[in-house]
Amino acid sequence: MTALSTISSVYGPVDSWRVGKSLGIDLIMNTSTCSFNCTYCQLGFIQDITKERKLFISTEKIINDFNLSKWKEADIITFSGSGEPTLAINLGEVITKIKHITDKPIAILTNGTLLINQEVRNNVLNADLISVKLDAPDDKTLKEINRPADGVTLHSIILGIKELKSDIKDLNKSTKLQIQIMFMPQNKNQIESLAKLLNEIKPDEVALNTPTRPYPAGWDIITRGAHGEDTKKIKFPIKPLKTLSLEEAKNIENKLRELTNLQIISVYKN
């Protein structure tokens, strides 16, 4: 197995339907680690399901990898990688150091489970885009789709998102708050309930998604940025997931527009 020190914590740029050419920053690397274990995760079954924050990869290594990367070719720098980026206690530090190197926008893809923590919110507030996953309108669906770590509830997630929005406003930040919904068979008929939550949160934008990458039977670090042809490099079986039809996606988008009047983007437009 390749030594961790020889693998870069920075990957891509990869094509993202949301943001263009995205350079990925992986603050975890050594194993898939998250407070969710989503049934559609491109990393496969999460190896370490936890809410514990800690240092996974040193800031020094990440910045060194960044300087050696193709960051100048990217439209945006995205914190995602091998799990939930807010689990890394040096998230805020890394964002600050990267902003000293480049003025390219920074995005964070998060499941929102730790936003209830003020320290975590402080860590993410310097990002230009915070995209928070919200697939479930109730705890039953949350457990079916996202399979959260013990103690995570829909209430705690929603409260954390609202606190984040309040912090953005109070600190006069220009940070964009996006809610991303992954539509699956389990939630595609829960549009009204999801719309109610969106109206409570009032994000700047809603991103509608459906699984476009297969679910791998095991974890490999390549899965963190596997898109299109990259999935063929995965050395173990992968399972295609059920996606929405174009008609279903358009109906959901139209219904959400009608019920929320929010800015909506969709994977089906790309």
Would you give per-residue pLDDT tens digits along the chain (270 residues)? 345 567 899 998 888 777 789 999 999 987 899 999 998 888 888 999 999 999 999 999 999 999 999 999 999 999 998 999 999 999 999 999 999 999 999 999 999 999 999 999 999 999 999 999 999 999 999 999 999 999 999 999 999 999 999 999 999 999 999 999 998 888 999 999 999 999 999 999 999 987 765 555 555 555 555 544 444 555 555 666 667 788 888 899 999 999 999 999 988 765
Name the residue range of residue 169's domain.
Answer: 4-269
Residue 231 structure tokens: 């999935």
**Number of domains into which the chain is organized:** 1
- pTM here is 0.88
Evaluate the CA torsion angle 85, 93, 31, 235 in order and state its sign: positive
- In this structure, are residues 18 and 75 in contact, taking their beta carbons and an 8 Å threshold? no
Both tokens assigned to 141: 């669906």
Q: What is the CATH number of the domain that holds 148?
A: 3.20.20.70
> Quick one: which of 140, 69, 131 has its CA closest to 98?
69
Q: What is the pLDDT of residue 140?
A: 96
What's the confidence (pLDDT) of residue 49?
Answer: 96
